[in-house]
Amino acid sequence: MTIVSRFAAAAALALLLIGGMAHAQGASVAFGGLKHDASLPVEITADELTVDQTTGSAVFSGNVVAGQGEMRLSASRVQVQYATENGEATGRIDQLIATGSVTLVNGAEAAEAEKAVYSVDAANIVMTGNVILTQGVNALSGEKLTVDLNTGSGRMSGRVRTIFRTGGN
């Protein structure tokens, strides 16, 4: 079952059980499962790789999966931006920019979006465009999700929507 269909099923069930919704402009949430060691090596697999030495970037396309420790980021396309010092590429990854059916999974938590930017040195991920976050049986949606991987804290913004289960089975 996909994350989207799990969210839809959970939403429908919760609507039947409690008959109400909570809406907000922004919400801080705990991302204990998304706490992560950004110093680990990044492994990327894809159907195709294009490298541009002049811009210091590489583009992976087709069934892209980027892994770092337990964290997995999958997308149709991932552009790798390399860090530079004094105008020279260092070979160290600065950012991963993922587009097209982006899914981020770490432990029991998963998020889907249209785009994700993972800033490796800053150890944060910003996901934008129809973001859906699932944490176990709970789901939260909005337009932007920002996660600090060092602390496991995050913020969902842009017409946040969730459904709270108030008890019972």
Extents of the domains making up the chain = 3-162
> pTM for the whole thing?
0.77
| Model confidence at 165: pLDDT above 80 | no
Cβ atoms within 10 A of the Cβ of 120, count? Answer: 21
Gyration radius of the chain over CA positions:
17
Which residues fall within 8 angstroms of residue 122, CB to CB, at 6 or more apart? none
> Please, what's the largest Cα pairwise distance for the chain?
61
| Mean pLDDT value across residues 120-137 | 91
* pLDDT of amino acid 10: 35
In this structure, of 33-42, 132-141, 152-161, the range with the lowest mean pLDDT score is 33-42
What are 63-116's pLDDT values in tens digits?
999 998 888 999 999 999 988 888 777 778 899 999 999 999 988 889 999 999
Instruction: Give CA torsion, residues 126, 128, 132, 134, to 10 deg.
Output: 0
* pLDDT of amino acid 24: 42
| Domain 3-162 fold | lipopolysaccharide transport protein A fold (2.60.450)
* pLDDT of amino acid 21: 36
